[in-house]
Amino acid sequence: MSYLDQLNDVQRNAATHIDGPVMVLAGAGSGKTRVLTYRIAHLIDTGADPYNILSLTFTNKAAREMKNRISQLVGEGNSKALWMGTFHSVFAKILRYEAEKIGYPSNFTIYDSDDSKSLIRTIIKEMNLDDKVYKPQLVQRRISSAKNGLISGTEYQNDTIIYNDDLQAKKPLLGKIYGTYEKRCFKASAMDFDDLLYKTNILLKNHSDVLLKYQDKFKYILVDEFQDTNFAQSNILKMLAARHENICVVGDDAQSIYAFRGANIQNILQFKSLYPDVAVFKLEQNYRSTKTIVAAANQVIDNNKEQLKKDVWTANQDGDSIKLIKCLSESEEGTFIASEILDIKDNENASEDDFAILYRTNAQSRALEEALRRKNIKYRIYGGLSFYQRKEIKDLLAYFKLCSNPNDEEAFKRVLNYPARGIGKTTESKIMMAASEEGKSPLAIVNNVNDAHLPINAATKNRILEFAHLIKSFQNLSLEKDAYETAQHIASATGILKEFYSDRTPEGISRYENVQELLSAIKEFTEIELSEEEKGSENPRSLSVFLEEVSLLTDTDIKDNKDDESPKVSMMTIHSAKGLEFPYVFIAGLEEDLFPSQLSVNSRSDLEEERRLFYVALTRAEKKATLSFAATRFKYGNMQYNEPSRFISEISQDLIESPTIQKIEKRELISKKNYALVNHAVRKKLVKPSQSAGSAISIEEINQLTVGTKVNHDRFGKGEITGLEGEIPNRKATVEFQNIGKKQLLLKFAKLQILK
């Protein structure tokens, strides 16, 4: 078969070893997606029914791309029958189908993390707890990790170890909050993201008939990015695969960067003990990067203790050295990166699309953006606020959700007084109180506001009735009409469209555009051809069905703005760069306390995760990686002085090229103030000397220098000081070098060593 010839030996063996458990350890850029897609194609070619194949990814984008590639190999008819999607979307689909088994309606809504945080906030308030002690975000994290660890609210409350932990943290009521949160979600017929995995576990564990059904259905299971699975996910896999044990997991422990979110690296490290007869394949040939980049990445990751040893190598060219740029400030870092981009673009005939600037935190993007704007370089920022998290979108979606699930409490609260219709906070809390007392949904209270004996005046009651009628009319419409008609009607009948249309401020215009974009996405949805399955159902293009599809989409799933397809530099956090590759990659902000993050330096495992993150960043680069750090940076409005990241010194010097001193002295934007700041930075280094090789000499050492002192310089070699002038921090030395003659050096930058 021709397509198998496109694989190397290991890849082919991994793709064609069909029976029994398989683990593919795939180094960065080693073609793991290729193996997965060809494996699926091969399965189908050798007689497997696509309907029996389950392939799980972590992003919708990855699933879509893989599906496309497979349909090119085996035809669209075959690829359509595959179950291919994210963990969350596949199990949401199963949960909708089996919902009643666990007491949920099949039209349950999915709470995103804002929704669930808001519910947690309400609960904390209702319990009269101090939200300084019970910070909603912390509570949310706690609940999330409990669910990921498959611990229910009741189990949490009955577990003495957990309780003592919480007691010691002076938060004994966390379990109570979790329990209440669980009940409230259930009452609202809502599941949060974690529930999609948690409830699937419950479903499969408590209903052996259901488990058997899916075990038989999914004869072949494939999992991408296995290193990022958490306990809830690996447990589902374990249950589903128990019957046929045809499970193939692909991953790279060196690229596990989501442990902070519950991903458990042990899943991949201990896969072998779970399936003793597993066939392990190591993909070690990198097809993406130069030898230099591969070598540097290997050196870095070698510092991690906890890893499965791999020997990643490449047949590619040596390529350029890794460039290291030392900057005075974040703005200078931006400027330098911008001019470097222009340089490379001219010299190597590259387009903006070939560049990526990666950083540890989103906050770093601002200074970089400004620099690119100043030099008129087009860029695109990934991440930040996602489309579906925007207020205007969430507001409109809340109307949709309320139509499809009248129990949805968060959606109700969102739309009750939006757009403003004179139903304020006080009235809202009266309604919510009544709902919880009578055990009804808030919408049910509103529908019968005349019967409920609420202390609400007549005028407000009328406004509430009007609201109730409005929602009722939307609900009726959504049953008959398709999603687009319903949505269009809701957007205009509520006045939301008009409100944004008449707002001519830039924000208003952008909101209007966003709403239009949502509407056109809905239009697109209604125009998708019906599948066989859907032809039987009542209103297959209803708003409810749209919601089911959309609630698990994220920003990267939305197509780019079609109006502007000009090439752009990509800017994003390293986390969101996983799985991507670019010819030229800049990694900015390589400073201690930023990368590695300050919160990681006290634990070895956290630090190792940061290192893996750096490994991911480096291995995104095909041709050239450029690292930079800034000696000073604004943090929370204060100037901070930084030492270079320890990760820089983990790359051997012969792979790194630092800019020449002359180039540094020619730099733009160096003010006297900046010099003073660097002086501080140098002083700080004195207290805690940096291990990084090739750093400038300390002030103490500068003071020791006299005419006649013998020195060594990284690039210029050995020499003798013949003159000294200027005061610290701008003290300069004239050095007579043996090979190249006289040079003037600014001592705070010069990488001099004093020779005895």
Which residues are identified as catalytic? 32-33, 224-225, 255, 620
Among 225, 330, 408, 409, binds DNA (CB under 7 A): 225
Spell out a b/e string for 171-194, using b for 16 or more CB atoms within 10 Å of the CB, else e.
Answer: bebbbebbbbbbebbbebbbbbbb
Q: Is 730 in the site for DNA (CB under 7 A)?
A: no
Cβ 51 vs Cβ 639: under 8 Å? no
In the complex, minimum distance from the CB of residue 89 to DNA, in angstroms, rounded to a whole number:
5
> Is there binding between residue 578 and DNA (CB under 7 A)?
yes
If binding is defined by CB under 7 A, does position 193 make contact with DNA? yes
- Among the listed ranges 160-168, 256-264, 472-480, 738-746, the one in contact with DNA (CB under 7 A) is 256-264
Q: Which listed residue (75, 105, 172, 424) binds DNA by CB under 7 A?
A: 424
Of 78, 89, 201, 441, which lies in the binding site for DNA, with binding defined by CB under 7 A?
89
Cβ distance 100 to 106 under 8 Å?
yes
Return the residue of 275, 634, 675, 737 that touches DNA, per CB under 7 A.
Answer: 634
Total binding residues toward DNA, as defined by CB under 7 A: 54
Structure tokens at 211: 């488990």
Q: 283, 281, 215: which is closest to 246 by C-alpha?
A: 215
For residue 578, the minimal CB distance to DNA (Å) is 6
CB 509 within 8 A of CB 485: no
Rounded to 10°, the helix 330-348/365-374 angle is 50
Cβ contacts of 457 within 8 Å, gap of 6 or more: none
CB of 112 to DNA, least distance (A): 7
* Residue 171 binds DNA, judged by CB under 7 A: no
CB of 251 to DNA, least distance (A): 10
SS3 of 612-655: the string is HHHHHHHCCEEEEEEEEEEEEEEECCEEEECCECCCHHHCCHHH
Q: Is 425 in the site for DNA (CB under 7 A)?
A: yes
Is residue 41 within 8 Å of 70, Cβ to Cβ?
Answer: yes
Query: 295 or 613: whose CB is closer to DNA?
Result: 613
With contacts defined by CB under 7 A, name the span among 31-39, 100-108, 149-157, 568-576 that binds DNA: 568-576
- With CB under 7 A as the contact rule, the residue among 6, 167, 260, 723 that binds DNA is 260
- Determine, following the binding rule CB under 7 A, whether residue 646 of this chain makes contact with DNA: no
Check if the beta carbon of residue 218 is closer than 8 Å to that of residue 199: no
Q: In this complex, which beta carbon is closest to DNA, that of residue 182 or of residue 225?
A: 225
Does position 140 bind DNA by CB under 7 A? no
Alpha carbons 95 and 87: distance in angstroms, whole number? 12
Cis status, amide bond into 442, omega within 30 of 0: no
Minimum distance of DNA from residue 543's CB (angstroms): 19
Segment contacting DNA (CB under 7 A): 48-56, 317-325, 494-502, 575-583?
575-583
The verdict on 573 binding DNA (CB under 7 A) reads yes
What is the Rg, in whole angstroms, of the alpha carbon atoms belonging to the chain? Answer: 30
Considering only residues 542 to 561 of the shown chain, the ones binding DNA according to CB under 7 A are: 552-557
Q: What are the beta bridge partners of residue 83?
A: 54
| 362 versus 730: smaller Cβ distance to DNA | 362
Report residue 658 CA to chain centroid gap. 31
**Residue (66 or 74) nearer to DNA, CB:** 66
**135 phi and psi angles, rounded to 5 deg:** -70, 125
CB nearer DNA, residue 71 or residue 417: 417
Say if residue 751 is exposed, middle or buried (CB neighbours under 10 Å; 0-12, 13-18, 19+): middle
Is 743 a binding residue for DNA by CB under 7 A? The answer is no
By the rule CB under 7 A, 427 interacts with DNA: yes
Residues 462-491, interacting with DNA (CB under 7 A) = none
Q: Which residues pair with 569 in a beta bridge?
A: 379
Per CB under 7 A, 714 contacts DNA: no
Residues shown for the chain: 756
Determine if 60 is a binding residue for DNA (CB under 7 A): yes
Which region among 44-52, 56-64, 95-103, 657-665 touches DNA (by CB under 7 A)?
Answer: 56-64
Answer whether 370's CB lies under 8 Å from 381's CB. Answer: no
Determine if 637 is a binding residue for DNA (CB under 7 A). yes
Task: In angstroms, give the least distance from the CB of 424 to DNA.
Answer: 2
Q: Which of 38, 18, 34, 17 is nearest to 26 (CA)?
A: 34
Q: Which is nearer to DNA, 225 or 409 (CB)?
A: 225
Whichever of 556 and 734 has its CB closer to DNA, that residue is: 556
Distances in Å between the alpha carbon of 498 and those of 218, 397, 507? 49, 17, 14
* Residue 246 contacts residue 219 (beta carbons within 8 Å): yes
Q: Which tokens hold the place of 666?
A: 């020619």
Q: How far is the CB of 563 from DNA (least distance, A)?
A: 24
Q: What minimum distance in Å lies between the beta carbon of 383 and DNA?
A: 4
Cα distances from 303 to residues 19, 278, 284, 347, 690, in angstroms, run 36, 28, 18, 35, 17
Q: Is 190 a residue that touches DNA (CB under 7 A)?
A: no
Residue 620 binds to DNA (criterion: CB under 7 A): no
Distance CA 191, CA 82 (A): 26
Q: Nearest approach, Cβ of 56 to DNA (angstroms)?
A: 11
Identity of the residue, 33 or 554, whose beta carbon is nearer to DNA in the bound complex: 554
Binding mask 110-129 for DNA (x = CB under 7 A): ---x-------x--------
Q: Which of 13, 339, 460, 539 binds DNA (CB under 7 A)?
A: 460
Q: How far is the CB of 80 from DNA (least distance, A)?
A: 20
Site membership for DNA, residue 65 (CB under 7 A): no
Nearer to DNA, 420 or 687 (CB): 420
The DSSP call for residue 91 is H
One character per residue 349-378, x = contact with DNA (rule: CB under 7 A): -----------xxxx---------------
651-689 as b/e: b if 16+ CB within 10 A: beeebbebbebeebeeeeeeeeebeebbbebbeebeeee
Cα gap 644→510, rounded to integer Å? 40
Nearer to DNA, 475 or 597 (CB): 597
The answer to whether 597 contacts DNA (rule: CB under 7 A) is yes
Three-class DSSP category at 382: coil
Q: Which residues bind DNA (CB under 7 A)?
A: 58-61, 86, 88-89, 113, 121, 131-132, 193, 225, 228, 258, 260-261, 263, 360-363, 383, 385-386, 417, 420, 422-427, 460, 552-557, 572-573, 575-576, 578, 597, 599-600, 606, 610, 613, 634, 636-637
